[in-house]
Amino acid sequence: MTQKTQQKTQQVRFVEVDPDQAGQRIDNFLRTQLKGAPKSLIYRILRKGEIRVNKKRVKPDSRLVAGDIIRIPPVRVPERGEAAPVGAGLAEHLEQAILYESDSLLVINKPSGLAVHGGSGVSLGLIEALRQVRPDSRFLELVHRLDRDTSGCIMVAKKRSMLRFLHEALRQRRVQKIYQALVVGRWEKRQQVIDAPLLRFELKSGERMVKVHEDGKPSVTRFQVLRRFQDRATLIEARPLTGRTHQIRVHTQFAGHPIVGDVKYTPDADNSQFRALGIRRLMLHAARLELELPDGEKLSVAAPLDQDTENMLESLLKVSGEE
């Protein structure tokens, strides 16, 4: 990457796209260039035409070509030293949570409650914490996302070539994601496939939600019962065959068994019952990833539940019994 001017947030910058960056969407490119800037800011300066590619306005999904000259206006973003510092406890936890590492890829068992990136009132996310813990790593980027309260496997690319490879693999559904969820009530069928289109919408408050709707995008999830706690709850495995926002959360709700601890899609009365038993988190866990790496290696990574969540399940077992 060639920079035509010194990188300062208080000056206009002109950045030339190198061959390794070709094919990226402009919004994703800017997130790398403007680390710490909220997505809302990036989309705002794109809409206002303050970002120019070869002196022309562009849309957020425009793809870059090697040699493109990007005009980036003055933007105030936090410097690395201004970010919320990573405490010793979190730093140690993240290192211990690494499930797999190579020279181009990290897979981490993300704890529930940790956002994957900062912004929208979150001063420190997983990716910012990793960059602080590993200051010598020149490239660390999220491959995909997990909701803040979902725990489990998440991939972080250490090389741009791996990021591109995995984005294409995800697009082609060549990455298998296997989740575990504790749902309300007795899930009757041992195995079940839910094929129900999902539509994103906004409430009047501005909160983004998803619902089953005939005008939505095709969405399919395969479910299997792992463990029943009598009629109180069921531990299930979920394999999304499509990759829609909140897919598992909405499909379980559609099946009549929303996920325990889900403040968006589970009735307050249900969540209150489980909170009284000490279960206070969203009980959705990305338990396993299966994929083929660029060299042909078959990779299967499993993320164990943390001890607190195991204890929650044990407390539920004591009051409910198990089948």
Number of H helices, E strands in the chain: 8, 17
Classify each residue of 182-197 as buried b or exposed e, where b means 16 or more C-beta atoms within 10 Å of its C-beta.
Answer: bbbbebeeeeeebebb
Across 122-137, average pLDDT: 83
Q: Domain total for the chain?
A: 3
Cβ 321 vs Cβ 230: under 8 Å: yes
Do 313 and 277 reside in the same domain of the chain? yes
Across 104-111, average pLDDT: 96
- The answer to whether residue 163 is domain-embedded is yes
Going from the C-alpha of 32 to that of each of 10, 38, 63, the distances in angstroms are: 17, 11, 15
Domain of 129: which CATH number? 3.30.2350.10
pLDDT tier, 133 (very low <50, low <70, confident <90, very high otherwise): confident
Cβ 12 vs Cβ 4: under 8 Å: no
Q: How would you classify the pairing of strands 284-292 and 191-195?
A: unpaired
Q: Give the pLDDT confidence score for residue 120 in this predicted structure.
A: 53
Across 284-308, average pLDDT: 95
Do 314 and 181 reside in the same domain of the chain? yes
147 in active site? yes
- The answer to whether residue 77 is domain-embedded is no
Q: Residue 144 contacts by C-beta under 8 Å, 6 or more apart in sequence? A: 154, 155, 166, 170
Do 215 and 232 reside in the same domain of the chain? yes
SS3 207: coil
From the candidates 20, 27, 61, 147, give the one annotated as an active-site residue. Answer: 147
pLDDT tier, 124 (very low <50, low <70, confident <90, very high otherwise): confident
Do 50 and 106 reside in the same domain of the chain? no
pLDDT tier, 317 (very low <50, low <70, confident <90, very high otherwise): confident
- The answer to whether residue 24 is domain-embedded is yes
What domain range is 257 assigned to? Answer: 176-320
Written as six digits, the tokens of 284 are: 């959705």
> Average pLDDT of the chain?
88
Across 183-211, average pLDDT: 91
Q: Among the three residues 72, 91, 114, which one is the final residue of a domain in this structure?
A: 72
Do 233 and 311 reside in the same domain of the chain? yes
Q: Judge whether residue 320 has pLDDT over 50.
A: yes
Task: Report pLDDT digits (tens) over 144-171.
Answer: 999 999 999 999 999 999 999 999 999 9
Do 29 and 108 reside in the same domain of the chain? no
Do 181 and 266 reside in the same domain of the chain? yes
pLDDT tier, 9 (very low <50, low <70, confident <90, very high otherwise): very low
Do 204 and 183 reside in the same domain of the chain? yes
Q: Judge whether residue 85 has pLDDT over 90.
A: no
Do 131 and 243 reside in the same domain of the chain? no
Task: Report pLDDT digits (tens) over 228-239.
Answer: 999 999 999 999
- The overall pTM is greater than 0.85: no
- The answer to whether residue 78 is domain-embedded is no
Do 198 and 310 reside in the same domain of the chain? yes
